[in-house]
């Protein structure tokens, strides 16, 4: 883009990102409300302005070039900065202005979702004009997003502690071992021993778990899943045993589709943390939200933050 940035250039950037997000020209037509030929001409115009090709498009499908991938991140950053500037300019009288991005792990306990909603409501009661973005990602993705600055706060469980991040415990989640209806152990579930269940097929997760009191995966793992919903399907099939959050399994237990193997021994607890970069690196928006989250969780967050958070 040789020369000054114009309104036309910004419009072409938005068209380009819409095509990238949609995965191609054809699926982007509905969102842009223009035909494929028009979109193609706009992409070609942008490439002419830049002096290099951004994407391959045609019968072989849509694919970003190496320069196209790098340019995508630059374009997102530029448009985000423009949006933030416009928001700040419109809200000079507000105490807090900006963008707060919060990453969450999927299938949090309903009670904890209510608490998070209360914290958001408390934050919205401030003199603020903040755009909130909530994202659901895996723990590993949340950790990476915190480190590269694409989110300001994560609420999840993590299996190791990165020194560059600040971990504050919020709550615990109980996981129990279950079998599905039709499994050979279903009728005897309740007081089964570890020795008995270790002889059978388990479903396990593809990512590490911060489980307490477990030596590791069982001897026989016949099914793998990278999220809770997929893991529950394996257990519900009646062919695999597996650990699930107690709150997540509860509706299936009530319907007679799952049974806990031994709630007294075949269980573990995970601790969910509020995770940010170190306090000295936080902006005022993030600090304010953490204060409101602490007020909702009381001793869970606020006392821990006062006693042990690095500065």
Same domain, 255 and 289: no
Q: For the chain, what percent of residues have pLDDT higher than 70?
A: 89
- Arithmetic mean of pLDDT, 252-270: 95
Comparing CA positions, the residue from 208, 199, 204 lying closest to residue 177 is 204
Same domain, 45 and 176: no
Report yes or no on 142 lying in a domain: yes
Number of domains in the chain: 3
Query: For residue range 129-188, what is the model confidence (pLDDT) as tens digits?
Result: 898 999 998 888 899 999 988 899 999 988 878 899 999 999 999 999 999 999 999 999
Same domain, 51 and 197: no
pLDDT at 69 > cutoff 50: yes
Q: What is the CATH number of the domain that holds 129?
A: 3.40.190.10
Same domain, 193 and 259: yes
56 in Cβ contact with 65 (< 8 Å): yes
Report yes or no on 1 lying in a domain: no
pLDDT at 311 > cutoff 70: no
Report yes or no on 2 lying in a domain: no
Query: What angle (nearest 5°) sits at the alpha carbon of residue 104, between those of residues 102 and 108?
Result: 140
Report yes or no on 28 lying in a domain: yes
Q: How far apart are the first and last CA of the chain?
A: 42
- Arithmetic mean of pLDDT, 66-88: 84
Strands 153-156, 165-180: pairing is unpaired
pTM as predicted: 0.65
Same domain, 252 and 118: no
Same domain, 159 and 79: no
Report yes or no on 203 lying in a domain: yes
pLDDT score for 133: 94
CA distances in angstroms from 303 to 30, 239, 277, 310, listed in the order given: 50, 45, 18, 13
pLDDT at 253 > cutoff 50: yes
214 in Cβ contact with 268 (< 8 Å): yes
Domain that holds residue 48: 7-89
Write out the two tokens for 194: 């570890």
Q: What is the CATH number of the domain that holds 208?
A: 3.40.190.290
Higher pLDDT, 64 or 217: 64
Cα 44 from Cα 93, distance rounded (Å) = 42
Same domain, 134 and 151: yes
pLDDT score for 298: 72
Same domain, 165 and 180: no
Report yes or no on 38 lying in a domain: yes
Same domain, 155 and 204: no
Instruction: Write down the mean pLDDT value for the chain.
Output: 86
Same domain, 156 and 294: yes
Same domain, 144 and 279: yes
Report yes or no on 114 lying in a domain: yes
pLDDT at 300 > cutoff 70: no
Same domain, 161 and 178: no
């Amino acid at each position: 883009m040789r020369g000054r940035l114009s309104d036309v250039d910004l419009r072409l950037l938005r068209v380009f990102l819409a095509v990238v997000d949609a995965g191609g020209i054809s699926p982007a037509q509905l969102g842009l409300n223009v035909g494929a030929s028009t979109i193609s001409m706009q992409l070609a115009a942008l490439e002419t302005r830049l002096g290099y090709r951004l994407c391959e498009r045609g019968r072989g499908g849509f694919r970003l070039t190496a320069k196209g991938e790098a340019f995508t991140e630059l374009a997102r950053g530029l448009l985000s900065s423009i949006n933030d500037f416009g928001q700040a300019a419109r809200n000079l009288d507000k105490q807090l202005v900006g963008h707060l991005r919060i990453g969450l792990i999927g299938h949090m306990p309903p009670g904890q979702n209510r608490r998070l909603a209360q914290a958001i409501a408390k934050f919205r009661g401030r003199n603020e004009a903040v755009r909130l973005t909530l994202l659901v990602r895996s723990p590993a993705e949340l950790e990476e997003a915190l480190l590269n600055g694409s989110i300001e706060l994560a609420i999840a469980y993590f299996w190791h502690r990165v020194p560059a991040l600040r971990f504050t415990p919020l709550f615990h989640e109980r996981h129990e071992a279950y079998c599905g209806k039709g499994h050979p152990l279903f009728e005897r579930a309740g007081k089964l021993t570890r020795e008995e269940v270790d002889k059978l097929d388990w479903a396990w997760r593809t990512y590490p778990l911060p489980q307490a009191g477990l030596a590791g995966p069982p001897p026989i793992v016949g099914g793998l899943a990278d999220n809770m919903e997929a893991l529950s399907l394996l257990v519900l099939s009646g062919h695999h045993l597996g650990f699930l959050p107690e709150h997540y399994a509860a509706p299936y237990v009530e319907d007679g589709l799952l049974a806990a193997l031994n709630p007294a021994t075949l269980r573990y607890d995970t601790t969910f943390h509020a995770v940010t970069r170190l306090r000295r690196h936080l902006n005022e928006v993030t600090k304010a939200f953490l204060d409101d989250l602490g007020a909702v969780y009381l001793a869970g967050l606020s006392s821990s933050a006062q006693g042990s958070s690095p500065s």
